[in-house]
Structure 1
Amino acid sequence: MRHVSIAGVQTLGAPLALDVAREAGDLRYGAIWAAEANAAEALSLLGAVSQVAPTAGVGTGVLALQLRTPPLHAMAAATLQQLVGDERDVFLGIGISSPAVAGQWHGAGYGDRPIAQVREFVALVRECLSGESVTFEGDFYRVSRFRLGLRLGERKPKIVVAALNEQMLRLAGEVADGVLLNYLPASAVPWCVEQVRKGGDAQVFAFVHCAVTDRDRYAELARRDLLNYAVVDAYAKQFARAGYADDVAAFRERWSARDRDGALAAIGDRWVDEVQIMGDASHVRAAVQAYADAGVDSPIVFALPWGEDRRATLSDTLRALA
């Protein structure tokens, strides 16, 4: 079943994000995901989403695990599970955020052992969601006699780990209920699924960045968006492995020389078209299906508000893919 992310519109305000979530619920998308960085905060927004889209599950895609304690993550997920009830899923999507977001924007440490930290984090959140008394002594977290004060039914929140590269993909397969892929073409999915399966049988989700809109008119917006991720080492590695190695090398050279225009120009058309999917409804529909065909269990429609009428573009995209 396809899901929807409202992350692409959260910077435009919580009311618009809720309106899009309401429409996604009316169209019977399976779950609605929200992110956070420096705009709408995900958990309070999803609490509202749970009320305006009463048939959809909710998911965080993703929370920077450096910004909240594991018990607080468990409390948040349990709260959302109570709000949506036992008939709907809650996906607690977490990941290691970038040094810029975690360190510079929020004043939290980035850390130097991300694999070990995620492993420990997931283990502790699971214990906290159990309802039992939890005392935990780890390398990153220490908890004494925490007990979740909310009672959950049979359905529990599912832990989803955001992963880009080999070690994190394998870890997600081993310890999580799901793995979340992002900013990759459908052609790169099989390799990612192979890594996940070396760890275990986690469900595979993937953001599919797309819009029913004029590709030529908004390709430059797509390049600027990709630039924000290509400067991050982990994403640059993923992009290179996905088939854009020459573009990535040229981009990094120009970026290191502080040539922003040259760096943007290095992001080639194929990179744009395969990762930021734009075109008519049939083109976008086929592209999203390609992710499912490649091994994604639940594609997440990351609707891009790139159109002369942003709200109409979002609606056109959601309706085309419902």
Structure 2
Amino acid sequence: MTGMSLPDHERVTATAVDAGYTDLWTSEVNGFDAFTPLVLAAGWTPSARLGTAIVPAFTRGPALLAMSAAALAEVAPGRAVIGIGASSPAIVNQWNGLDFTDPFGHTRDMLRFLRKALAGELVDEEFPSFRVQRFKLERPPEQPPLLHLAALRPGMLRLAAAEADGAILNWLAASDVPKVTAELAGAPDGFDVAARIFVCPTTDVAYARTAGKRMITAYLTVGAYAEFHRWLGREAELGPVWDAWAAGDRKGALAAVPDDLVDALVLHGTPAEVRAKLTEYVANGVQTPVIALVPAPGTEPLAAVRALSPAGGDSWS
């Protein structure tokens, strides 16, 4: 959770499980890596499913990513989910100094490699985007983790349906879910649709919208997310934001974000109002709603965790 030390996460995981949450998920941007908090949580909460949403497919070599995934699967047998995705040019190229070339192909190849390596196979193969020579895990997990794919547009969604165990959605409104899940029509039984859903736990509408607009201008101006929202039909809503951003007018881009778009993409309100909005995602086809808390003044994070739980709570504080 943002702003908390790793030892402090023990209280978060205990609170979440006690409140009725079934899963604990991590992301990987510029804070902790995705695996370390989950390895710790495997000992703290021996019942929760543990997932990465997501680990970039570019920032670890194939063998290292397989080893990290196998380690999590060993300490949390039957409970590990490895979500991978293309990530972004900023994280891959600007921060890690790596080429961000053919994100679809590289992510596809990493998914295929992990499927083989985590099954204990010797992998000696020329994938289209990288070469692996005679790699075999020393300790392949007895129960290989599930493999989920971060997917936005039709190509990656269809790849997820064909070759992954689930898809991880991001930055979409509840009303967008049917259009997205239509591309998953060929997925097998048991396929999981997870969605990262931003929640700003406050009844201060002005604050929530200000925070949401900053996030939207930071994220939805990135190429992959911009194309995703074009595909969703938001050219008219976001066109002025994209134009201002491209012109270097950051303040203009921020001001151009419509309030109703913020309300749809960053949930806020009373705990009951937010829980009702979360159920809309489930009703529209999301099996695993993953709550991503956006800090709000005067809100105690653990109170927000309890308030958003299936049992619910009375307030954010």
TM-score, length-scaled by structure 1 = 0.90
User: Which one of 159, 162, 165 corresponds to residue 153 of structure 2?
Assistant: 165
Cross-structure match for 1:37: 29
User: Which one of 260, 266, 277 corresponds to residue 267 of structure 2?
Assistant: 277
Structure richer in helix, relative to its length: 1
User: Which one of 115, 119, 129 corresponds to residue 104 of structure 2?
Assistant: 115
TM-fit CA distance, 1:138: 1.6
TM-fit CA distance, 1:276: 0.2
- 1:87-236 counterparts in 2 under 5 A? 89-111=79-101, 113-153=102-142, 155-198=143-186, 202-216=191-205, 217-236=207-226
- C-alpha change, 1:204 and 1:138, in structure 2 (3 Å) is same
What is the CA deviation profile of residues 55-93 of structure 1, one whole-angstrom value per residue up to 9, with x for unaligned ones? 11111110111011222222112211111234xx21101
| Equivalent residue letter for 2:157 | L
TM-fit CA distance, 1:45: 1.6
TM-fit CA distance, 1:10: 3.4
What is the CA deviation profile of residues 164-219 of structure 1, one whole-angstrom value per residue up to 9, with x for unaligned ones? 11111111111111100001001111111111224656321111212431241322
| Equivalent residue letter for 1:97 | S
Does residue 59 (structure 1) correspond to residue 51 (structure 2)? The answer is yes
What is the CA deviation profile of residues 87-122 of structure 1, one whole-angstrom value per residue up to 9, with x for unaligned ones? xx21101000111111001111101x2222222111
| Equivalent residue letter for 1:135 | D
| Equivalent residue letter for 2:120 | G
Return structure 1 stretches of 4+ with deviation > 4 angstroms.
198-201
1:305–1:314 CA contact under 8 A, matched in 2: no
Moved more, 254-263 or 12-21: 12-21
TM-fit CA distance, 1:226: 1.3
Identity %: 31
Structure 1, gaps ≥5 residues long: 1-8
What is the CA deviation profile of residues 42-63 of structure 1, one whole-angstrom value per residue up to 9, with x for unaligned ones? 1112111212222111111101
- C-alpha change, 1:187 and 1:37, in structure 2 (3 Å) is same
| Matched length | 310
TM-fit CA distance, 1:22: 2.6
What is the CA deviation profile of residues 22-53 of structure 1, one whole-angstrom value per residue up to 9, with x for unaligned ones? 31122232211111111111111211121222
Secondary structure (helix, strand or coil) at the match of 1:262 reads helix
TM-fit CA distance, 1:305: 2.2
| Equivalent residue letter for 1:171 | L
User: Which one of 268, 272, 293 corresponds to residue 303 of structure 1?
Assistant: 293
- C-alpha change, 1:219 and 1:13, in structure 2 (3 Å) is farther
1:213–1:306 CA contact under 8 A, matched in 2: yes
1:92–1:160 CA contact under 8 A, matched in 2: yes
Structure 2, gaps ≥5 residues long: 313-317
TM-fit CA distance, 1:303: 2.4
1:305–1:313 CA contact under 8 A, matched in 2: no
TM-score, length-scaled by structure 2 = 0.91
